[in-house]
Structure 1
């Protein structure tokens, strides 16, 4: 059975938020595994706060559903539309991991930016790009 992570798609309708995974090459949506017994929307709110410092409520989010992501994981994605978008310089990551090379505790995320829907493939993995294609299709067609 595939794991499911809750993810945030924060957008103004033209661009969306991505977070740079510390030590990696790519950007990603704010996301993380849903804890046992936890509702997906609560996991999205928790992960967003941990990875960006942004505080959201259930009323800020629209459930877009579960999307295929990798062979081992699906993403339960929630939409949040904000105009204007929050300033990325105010974001901060409080969740950490032990870096494989330095063996030091480092933030999971070390940078943020907004990218246009059409530029996503330049910044995200191919799996994430495919997932985002489906997400963007769903929100632009509704």
Structure 2
């Protein structure tokens, strides 16, 4: 029986239904705040930790909507949570990554994520890796997340000041 790894992450959606993504350093692809779950950690705690480490996000657990566990690729599943926000509350200029790795053996450590952006579906199709694109766009998980998210973006979409 094959062991399946579990990564957990966030779908951060603004008042324009755009998704917050970050550029994976050393790659051509952009990604969500997500990462492998630690031993003894819950999926919710992992998603919050990854959001904090990779994007500098500080949402409370009460803001997240559980979207469940999904097949990502052979040997790895994703457990994702949605959160609504606004471009004012979650400005890309304030996003930061505190998680580092060596891009080249013996090289200086670099942040896992080096740029941040809001992206609509068209841009997501161009920037996300194939399996993430399949899960979010082709299989409709992002559409589900937009419908189920909680947070200030719902009020903001109706013109309320957040």
Q: Normalising by structure 2, what TM-score?
A: 0.81
What pairs up with 1:1-142 in 2 under 5 angstroms? 1-12=3-14, 14-84=17-87, 86-100=90-104, 103-133=107-137, 134-139=140-145
Shift of 1:140: 5.0
Q: What CA distance in whole angstroms lies between the structure 1 residues aligned with 2:7 and 2:103?
A: 21
Runs (5+) with no aligned partner, structure 2 = 149-162
Runs (5+) with no aligned partner, structure 1 = none
Contact 2:64 2:83 in 1 (8 A): yes
Question: Paired residue for 2:154?
Answer: none
Select the structure of larger CA radius of gyration.
Answer: 2
- Number of residue pairs aligned between Structure 1 and Structure 2: 142
Please state whether the residue corresponding to 2:73 is helix, strand or coil: coil
The root-mean-square deviation of aligned C-alpha atoms, in Å, is 1.6
Instruction: Please identify, of 78-87 and 21-30, the stretch whose mean Cα deviation from structure 2 is larger.
Output: 78-87
Shift of 1:92: 0.8
Shift of 1:72: 1.9
Shift of 1:119: 2.6
Instruction: Please identify, of 6-15 and 99-108, the stretch whose mean Cα deviation from structure 2 is larger.
Output: 99-108
More strand by share: 1
The verdict on how the C-alpha distance between 1:25 and 1:141 changes in structure 2, with shifts beyond 3 A counting, is same
